[in-house]
């Protein structure tokens, strides 16, 4: 067998060189260029690649190895491509252009059933390499932070796009509740979370299924994507977050274990974030997406853009709060359509309201980052007492210092999933209800104080408020924020948790790349849709008898509900976000409060908050005090209202012990079939609302496919299934 041997002589002392140096991928984000190549070298190397391809008649190049001296690159090797590639096209159009790959290899939608592997002719990661790049080939770039991040964002901002050319932005997140979203020419065309496909609630993984579905639903393939935006893993913001993180760590010095736990928090965050960031880049690279087409955006900035840009307001304060993300847990922004977002204040992950709420969730026997809603429901049954006092002493708003504070110690640590060692002893003898009340009240008071401080410092004391982040899934907190006299209007992004940051990442790129100032999102019907043929096939495969409904469908379904039947309502595109809002819903009448026990038993759920009501716009004011048609959040079940006497009398099953309800108000233009059923029920019975709860079995995600719905029917979750134009018999 012949054996060839070669030796790397670049940098060899025999030629008077001082040694071998690695520079890395010069097409990587600016901050990752190992030897700090300037823009001129990048441009010259790109031009050299184009010239080499034309000289040798290549369809494209994967990359070109070169050495550089005094800013001039000298070619060593051209790595040809078998099909047009990013690097070739970018070389022709300027390496910072986002122009699309040329046809014909990429023309038309991909017909392959699987998106896990790239198709033939699909662009792969370019390998425009520097000297010795093989040494570290495949290494993901370092996080774009600080100045590098600014340069990266500037690169996005400065891109050029031909008139009329389609811009495709894929949003991807591999945080908990991973998912994907698609924005085409500034329009949100698809969004879904991975849990709905893989049937594992809030799953954290690279969302292959969501990406594949999103692209296929729009007739696109991965090579059509101009940019990938991710609403996470940007890393610490050195200007805004680092000083606050240091301040918060130092402030723990006087507390038992304070510094150790704070240090541990940062170490865990840094190592976990880096691992997931590498997973994101690596998985995208396997799909053929080059690193320099991926923009990791700040976690809380992504939450903030989802809260503001689809909102009805032209100016607002944007408030985000969660467990943690990119080393922060709370941010407050000033936002306007003309000037975008400007950070006013933030809190580090050491002072995390989400961690506080999560550790109490765990203490009460529930799963943190998952069952916080149960604690919110339980809180309405409790009263103020020692639990409130204790939690108020470890998590509070420091009025004198003007900042959120926490005291790490035996009863608080900035980890939702680790119960502090002294908590059980300190809360011994306190009822679960009072503990829940305590954490809920502290959350409300602290975040309201934080907000009021900033409103008080503004010339205009009346604001619109946009909310996102995991803490804003707390409908009672949202109610308290909305109830502040200084707050005029509130918009809560319907997918407010980390599951919304796929869309947040895509929005962030669209805002910066395309100057988008508003995203229309009148509904959350952005997920997969299945036709009657799919439904019929699912029925037949499971041997479920069924018939086709006619024009009287609303009356038929309303009659079933009025007769006390539990109806599975399966129509149209799957909802984006945690709430079922008329696509994958369970409908039942709310006239008897005991249905909260019986229906929860059928669904194998334990809830302390009653089911939520749905009504139509014409009846909403008679159900909810202060309701106005322009209160957009009432369409998404993200905020509480005080129930009217009429609602409490006619529909007691949907009114909480504290007199509140968290409605969905349906407008016909948004979901005609659903609207017609609710309207038919109200007109038939005189009851102004009915129950709408999510269509899923215990601890399962909301149903996605017709088969999921049929399985839920088989488990006895519902009596009747209405899917498309078909109804079970
Ligand atoms: Fe978050």
Given its phi and psi angles, is residue 469 left (phi above 0), alpha (psi -120 to 50 degrees) or beta? left
Position 696 pLDDT exceeds 80:
yes
Task: Report how far residue 587's alpha carbon sits from residue 565's, in angstroms, rounded to the nearest whole number.
Answer: 9
Asked if 472 and 636 count as a contact pair (C-beta separation under 8 A), the reply is: no
Enumerate the domain spans of the chain: 4-157, 168-299, 313-488, 532-728
* Residues 373-398 pLDDT 10s: 999 999 999 999 999 999 999 999 99
Alpha carbons within 13 angstroms on the beta-carbon side of residue 330 total 24
Identify the weakest region by mean pLDDT among 6-20, 273-287, 492-506, 514-528.
6-20
Position 41 pLDDT exceeds 70:
no
Q: Return the CATH number of the domain spanning residue range 532-728.
A: 3.90.870.20
How far is ligand 1, taken at its centre, from the CA of residue 63, in Å?
38
Position 283 pLDDT exceeds 70:
yes
Task: Report how far residue 579's alpha carbon sits from residue 614's, in angstroms, rounded to the nearest whole number.
Answer: 12
pLDDT at residue 74 in the model: 74
pLDDT at residue 15 in the model: 61
pLDDT at residue 710 in the model: 97
How far is ligand 1, taken at its centre, from the CA of residue 347, in Å?
13
Position 144 pLDDT exceeds 70:
no
Task: Report how far residue 113's alpha carbon sits from residue 123's, in angstroms, rounded to the nearest whole number.
Answer: 18
How far is ligand 1, taken at its centre, from the CA of residue 605, in Å?
26
Task: Report how far residue 607's alpha carbon sits from residue 224's, in angstroms, rounded to the nearest whole number.
Answer: 45
Is residue 107 very low, low, confident or very high in pLDDT (cuts 50, 70, 90)? very low
How far is ligand 1, taken at its centre, from the CA of residue 191, in Å?
17
Mean pLDDT over residues 143-150, rounded?
40
Full-model pTM = 0.79
Alpha carbons within 13 angstroms on the beta-carbon side of residue 122 total 23
Q: Return the CATH number of the domain spanning residue range 168-299.
A: 3.30.420
- DSSP state for residue 184 in the 8-state scheme: E
pLDDT at residue 607 in the model: 85
Residues, CB within 5 angstroms of ligand 1 (ion): 322, 325, 498
pLDDT at residue 106 in the model: 23
How far is ligand 1, taken at its centre, from the CA of residue 469, in Å?
5
How far is ligand 1, taken at its centre, from the CA of residue 476, in Å?
19
pLDDT at residue 418 in the model: 83
How far is ligand 1, taken at its centre, from the CA of residue 467, in Å?
12
* Residues 576-626 pLDDT 10s: 999 999 999 999 999 999 999 999 999 988 888 899 999 999 999 999 999
Is residue 8 very low, low, confident or very high in pLDDT (cuts 50, 70, 90)? low
Position 85 pLDDT exceeds 70:
no
How far is ligand 1, taken at its centre, from the CA of residue 354, in Å?
9
313-488 and 168-299 share a CATH fold: yes
Q: Is the dihedral of CA 337, 338, 340, 343 positive or negative?
A: negative
Task: Report how far residue 651's alpha carbon sits from residue 648's, in angstroms, rounded to the nearest whole number.
Answer: 6
Position 679 pLDDT exceeds 50:
yes
Position 336 pLDDT exceeds 80:
yes
Position 35 pLDDT exceeds 60:
no
How far is ligand 1, taken at its centre, from the CA of residue 178, in Å?
12
For 486, counting Cβ atoms within 10 Å of its Cβ (0-12 exposed, 13-18 middle, 19+ buried), the class is middle
How far is ligand 1, taken at its centre, from the CA of residue 218, in Å?
28
How far is ligand 1, taken at its centre, from the CA of residue 296, in Å?
14
How far is ligand 1, taken at its centre, from the CA of residue 520, in Å?
22
pLDDT at residue 19 in the model: 55
Is residue 84 very low, low, confident or very high in pLDDT (cuts 50, 70, 90)? very low
How far is ligand 1, taken at its centre, from the CA of residue 543, in Å?
43
Task: Report how far residue 230's alpha carbon sits from residue 552's, in angstroms, rounded to the nearest whole number.
Answer: 45
Position 671 pLDDT exceeds 80:
yes
**Which tokens sit at 624?**
């909810």
Position 661 pLDDT exceeds 50:
yes
How far is ligand 1, taken at its centre, from the CA of residue 726, in Å?
39
How far is ligand 1, taken at its centre, from the CA of residue 325, in Å?
5
CATH topology of domain 313-488: Nucleotidyltransferase; domain 5 (3.30.420)
Position 127 pLDDT exceeds 50:
no
Asked if 182 and 239 count as a contact pair (C-beta separation under 8 A), the reply is: no
How far is ligand 1, taken at its centre, from the CA of residue 620, in Å?
32
- The DSSP line for 525-567 is B-S----HHHHHHHHHHTT--EEE--TTHHHHHHHHHHTT--E
């Amino acid at each position: 067998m012949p054996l060839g041997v070669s030796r790397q002589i670049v940098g060899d002392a025999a030629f008077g060189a001082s040694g071998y140096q690695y520079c890395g991928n010069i097409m990587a984000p600016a901050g990752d260029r190992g030897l700090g190549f300037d823009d001129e070298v990048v441009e010259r190397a790109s031009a050299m690649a184009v010239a080499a391809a034309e000289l040798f008649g290549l369809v494209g190049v994967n990359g070109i190895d070169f050495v550089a001296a005094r800013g001039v690159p000298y070619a060593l090797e051209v790595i040809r491509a078998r099909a047009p590639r990013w690097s070739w096209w970018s070389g022709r159009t300027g390496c910072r252009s986002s122009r699309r790959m040329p046809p014909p290899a990429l023309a038309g939608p991909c017909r392959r059933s699987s998106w896990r592997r790239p198709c033939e002719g699909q662009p792969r990661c370019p390998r425009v390499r520097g000297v010795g790049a093989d040494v570290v080939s495949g290494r993901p770039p370092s996080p774009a932070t600080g100045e590098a991040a600014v340069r990266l964002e500037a690169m996005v901002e400065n891109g050029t796009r031909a008139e009329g050319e389609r811009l495709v932005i894929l949003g991807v997140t591999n945080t908990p509740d991973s998912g994907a979203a698609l924005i085409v020419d500034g329009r949100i065309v698809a969004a879904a979370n991975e849990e709905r496909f893989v049937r594992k609630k809030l799953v954290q993984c690279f969302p292959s299924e969501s990406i594949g579905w999103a692209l296929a639903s729009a007739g696109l393939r991965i090579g059509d994507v101009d940019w990938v935006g991710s609403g996470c893993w940007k890393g610490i913001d050195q200007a805004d977050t680092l000083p606050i993180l240091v301040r918060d760590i130092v402030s723990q010095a006087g507390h038992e274990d304070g510094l150790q736990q704070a240090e541990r928090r940062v170490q865990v965050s840094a190592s976990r974030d880096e691992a997931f960031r590498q997973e994101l880049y690596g998985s995208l690279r396997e799909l053929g997406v080059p690193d320099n087409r991926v923009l990791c955006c700040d976690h809380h900035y992504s939450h903030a853009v989802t809260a503001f840009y689809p909102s009805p307001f032209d100016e607002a304060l944007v408030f985000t709060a969660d467990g943690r993300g990119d080393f922060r847990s709370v941010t407050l922004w000033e936002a306007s359509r003309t000037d975008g977002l400007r950070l006013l204040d933030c809190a580090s992950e050491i002072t995390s309201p989400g961690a506080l709420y999560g550790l109490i969730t765990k203490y009460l026997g529930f799963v943190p980052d998952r069952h916080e809603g149960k604690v919110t429901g339980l809180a309405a049954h409790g009263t103020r007492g020692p639990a409130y006092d204790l939690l108020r002493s470890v998590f509070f708003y420091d009025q004198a210092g003007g900042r959120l504070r926490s005291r790490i110690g035996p009863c608080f640590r900035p980890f939702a999933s680790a119960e502090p060692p002294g908590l059980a002893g300190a809360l011994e003898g306190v009822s679960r209800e009072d503990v829940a009340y305590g954490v809920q009240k502290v959350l409300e008071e602290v975040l309201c104080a934080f907000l009021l401080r900033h409103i008080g410092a503004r010339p205009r004391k009346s604001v619109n408020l946009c909310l996102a982040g995991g803490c804003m899934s707390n409908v009672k907190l949202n109610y308290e924020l909305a109830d502040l006299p200084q707050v005029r209007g509130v918009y809560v992004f319907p997918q407010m948790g980390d599951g919304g940051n796929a869309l947040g990442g895509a929005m962030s790129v669209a805002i910066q790349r395309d100057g988008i100032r508003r995203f229309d999102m009148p509904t959350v019907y952005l997920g997969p849709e299945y036709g009657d043929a799919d439904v019929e096939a699912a029925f037949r495969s499971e041997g479920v008898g069924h018939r086709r409904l006619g024009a009287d469908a609303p009356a038929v379904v309303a009659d079933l509900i009025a007769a006390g039947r539990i109806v599975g309502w399966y129509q149209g595109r799957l909802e984006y976000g945690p709430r079922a809002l008329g696509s994958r819903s369970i409908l039942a009448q709310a006239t008897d409060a005991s249905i909260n026990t019986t229906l929860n038993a059928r669904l194998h759920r334990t809830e302390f908050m009653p089911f939520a009501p749905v009504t139509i716009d014409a009846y909403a004011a008679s159900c909810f005090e202060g309701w106005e048609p322009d209160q957009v959040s009432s369409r998404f079940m993200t905020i509480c209202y005080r129930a009217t006497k009429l609602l409490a009398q006619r529909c007691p099953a949907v009114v909480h012990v504290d007199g509140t309800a968290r409605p969905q108000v349906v407008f016909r233009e948004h979901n005609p079939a659903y609207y017609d059923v609710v309207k038919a029920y109200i007109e038939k019975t005189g009851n102004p609302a009915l129950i709408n709860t999510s269509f899923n079995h215990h601890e399962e995600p909301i149903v996605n496919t017709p088969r999921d719905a049929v399985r839920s029917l088989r488990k006895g979750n519902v009596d009747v299934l209405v899917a498309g134009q078909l109804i079970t018999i």
